[in-house]
Structure 1
């Protein structure tokens, strides 16, 4: 059976910037920068005629308009545009700990999005199984955060060790906002399958959460059967357009992307294409299925489409393993086997992410207690006690539910009750996101 690469000759046609072959439907989907009637095309630029000329009489040809309205060499990478759109509310703020899906970029760039965390460098990261360039300062089992090469490594132009800022420079990030350094990337070149780079992390300042998404996501990492995603709905969280969803149009596409004067137009293979769900500055966004499975890393698009790397290719070509939660200090996925109790212990351990404004009024977390014994799949009532530095209006968010409260002069602390859902797959511990601060 043919593959998408068998139809890459169509990328030589005028206006064609992407092509995908769907074996299940025996269909070639061709993405064009502008759609013209057949009588306006030369024979060598008519994709229907080109396909028939090579003897493919049974395959269906579907031409999809990318919406540029002009002839182009390729799609746009979504972090190198000259005009960067305004960020969605809260996305350009300074976040500590840092979640995925907010403004992040190289100190010499404009704006992008921080992506999947935690990703663990594998044993063969600098071997034959990986195509990455890595810093000597990191090695197997170290944790990193991912985004695009063109967000962290400036499309191959950055030196290892360059500063990564949160928020991005365009959003006001400066030297005091450094959250890590560039430590690895896969070079952008023809035939590559990913646009990915990694930065170093300070684990105390990172959150394995994704801004404004379900706290239990990712529920899994997809490592195969990508053809089944055609027609499904995917959701991303990113700096510019926030949380948006779109339908998968292609699952193994070869696309041309314009990376600027230095890199020119580069052909990437094996890409996911959805309809519109992103704009400039969303590059690096993590992309999920509706059940929370991590499937892609967003990097490019047009006025009509969004293009994402398959997350399995990101892992393989960079030489990392994306984890579902931050591991224990020993590098494992949780508690050591030697620490396993002989009898059940009905307790819950919390990772508490509390964001506060260190200037002016602050809100501090005093305690979190459950009224009933937590168990996987249950919804239990939690009492959260906070204390304020001074009277005023404050906000408190627990497990995605946000409330406001007034603290009077004679109040030493305040207790609020929240309903907390325990994930079905929870084992011996559960991470509960608790955040709060002053209302400006």
Structure 2
């Protein structure tokens, strides 16, 4: 327990190449699983202790029972956050600026940039306003930049192709029915988006953690495939899992007040989110790799942007 990065020990079955064996061992619980080269000699976990084999298992930072809507310092991914003029969303993860290496907070445009209605330097509070956050005492960051959302202008007549797409879309719409829901509309012209994303600059680097509550540190990215198991950690529904149902999806998302935005190349999973989970990082079910950024959905389905499109738009890296 005296070693850095270790936050627990116990008795368990040794895991080899991802499979549990029948061999009992001393399980060492660590915040983050690191290579031998990244550890000093005194912080390495030996292969055995007094003849008992050891196994190292990553469990992330262990927290006393706190609500995701509480104030966290340092704040991990998966907790309440928001632009000072919105209700609340989810802190997705910490990413790094490609040019400078600076650490930035990743979430949605509609969480950190008030759906385009924000200025660089605006205060970001943790927890979000709906959860009691107050500008000043709870300001954790300032808005750095965002990918603007292009909203559609409704109008125009109908056509056979549009109607066909509408019929397909209405099936999707019947499954997606929350404040951010998929709905098919006729638009002229149609402004197409790829991501709903933004980053904020922490006021103090020590106020944010490079890990997600209940998931741990993210080490990279992976492309989505049909049937892939995924997981997320969010403000409202906390830790949930799902499966990718469709890829390369075109959806129209209702942002309220008559504003609808069309998104292409989106990923759709099963029910794993509710309002307030927007901004959650979607992670592969079997590895610490980011798959996408959750931004819309309902009690039945979840929509998220492919992670590479998010990183490219914001010019950041993760892992």
* TM-score between the two structures when normalised by the length of structure 2: 0.64
The within-5 A match list for 1:410-425 is none
Measured after TM superposition, the shift of residue 260 of structure 1 is: 2.2
Aligned-residue offset at 1:247 = 1.2
What is the root-mean-square deviation in Å for CA atoms of aligned residues? Answer: 1.5
1:193 to 2:229 alignment: no
What's the offset of the Cα at 1:294? Answer: 1.0
Deviations 1:242-301 (A, max 9, x none): 000011111111110012227x11101111100100000000001111222111110000
| Residue 142 (structure 1) shift | 2.3
Show the counterpart of 1:93.
70
Q: For 1:159 and 1:113, how far apart are their aligned partners in 2?
A: 20
State the partner residue of 1:166. 126
C-alpha separation in 1, matches of 2:234 and 2:93: 11
- 1:302 and 1:159 mapped to 2: Cα distance? 29
Alignment of 1:235-274 (within 5 A): 235-261=231-257, 264-274=259-269
- Equivalent pairs counted in the alignment come to 212
Q: Secondary structure at the match of 2:218?
A: coil
3-state SS of paired residue (1:313): helix
> Which stretches of structure 1, 4 residues or more, deviate above 6 A after TM superposition?
none
- Taking the TM superposition and a 5 Å limit, the aligned residue runs for 1:88-127 are 90-117=67-94, 119-123=95-99
CA distance in 2, matches of 1:316, 1:156: 18
Which one of the candidate residues 264, 270, 273 is aligned to 1:278? Answer: 273
Deviation at 1:208, TM superposition (A): 0.6
Determine if the alignment matches structure 1 residue 300 to structure 2 residue 300: no
The CA deviation at 1:320 is 1.0
- Counterpart position of 2:206: 204
Match of 1:218 in 2: 218
3-state DSSP of counterpart to 1:317:
helix
Distance 1:194 1:102 in 2: 21
Q: Does the residue aligned with 2:273 lie in a helix, a strand or coil?
A: coil
Higher relative contact order (CA 8 A, sep 6+): 2
Q: Find the partner of 2:310 among 295, 314, 328.
A: 314
**SS at the partner of 1:141?**
coil
Q: For residues 273 and 187 of structure 1, what CA distance do their matches in structure 2 show? A: 22
Query: Residue in 2 aligned with 1:422?
Result: none
Give 5+ residue unaligned stretches, structure 1: 1-87, 124-139, 325-440
User: Given that residues 243 and 269 in structure 2 are in contact (C-alpha distance below 8 angstroms), is that contact kept between their aligned partners in structure 1?
Assistant: yes
Gaps of 5+ in 2: 1-64, 151-190
Tell which structure's C-alpha radius of gyration is larger: 1
Structure 1: distance between partners of 2:220 and 2:211: 14
| Counterpart mapping for 1:108-187 below 5 A | 108-117=85-94, 119-123=95-99, 140-175=100-135, 176-187=137-148
- Paired residue secondary structure (1:276): coil
